[in-house]
């Protein structure tokens, strides 16, 4: 029996590092963090001037920058931010569990 794949909601596309002080605005949910023992992973959310959501994920010195969007390639509206935050929280937990190399697996499994 095959496992049913959940419907894709969000897309994260890795981008070059950005400086959050260069005109980005914090989102209504500014970020989320999870911890497992002494290890911690964080996600911070901003919008650029055109409303595009950018995300920085960090864990133990590893930092990754992404642009986030709906699977339809539209911006994630504010009323979907709570659901997006829950998905990111789950991805961070999986990243902590799988180790530093597990970020892309976490994103693929939980966001796509």
Structure tokens at 19: 């400086």
Going by their DSSP bridges, the two strands 62-70 and 10-15 should be labelled as antiparallel
Write out the chain's pLDDT in tens, 112 residues: 445 556 668 989 999 999 888 889 998 888 899 998 888 999 999 999 999 999 999 988 889 999 999 999 999 999 999 999 998 998 898 888 877 666 767 676 655 5
Structure tokens at 10: 């969000």
pTM score, two decimals?
Answer: 0.82
**What H or E segment, with its residue span, contains residue 31?**
strand 25-36
Query: What is the pLDDT at residue 29?
Result: 85
Whether 31 contacts 81, CB under 8 Å: no
Alpha-carbon distance values, 4 to 1, 7, 34, 36 (Å): 9, 9, 27, 28
**Among all chains, which residue has been given the structure tokens 């911070």?**
44
């Amino acid at each position: 029996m095959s496992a049913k794949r959940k419907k894709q909601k969000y897309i994260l596309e890795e981008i070059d590092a950005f400086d959050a002080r260069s005109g980005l605005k914090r989102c209504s949910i500014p970020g989320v963090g999870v911890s497992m023992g002494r290890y911690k992973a964080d996600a911070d959310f901003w919008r650029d001037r055109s409303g595009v959501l950018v995300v920085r994920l960090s864990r133990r010195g590893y930092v990754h920058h992404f642009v986030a969007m709906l699977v339809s390639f539209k911006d994630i509206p504010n009323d979907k931010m709570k659901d997006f935050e829950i998905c990111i929280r789950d991805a961070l937990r999986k990243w902590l569990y799988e180790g530093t190399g597990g970020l892309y697996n976490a994103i693929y499994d939980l966001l796509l």
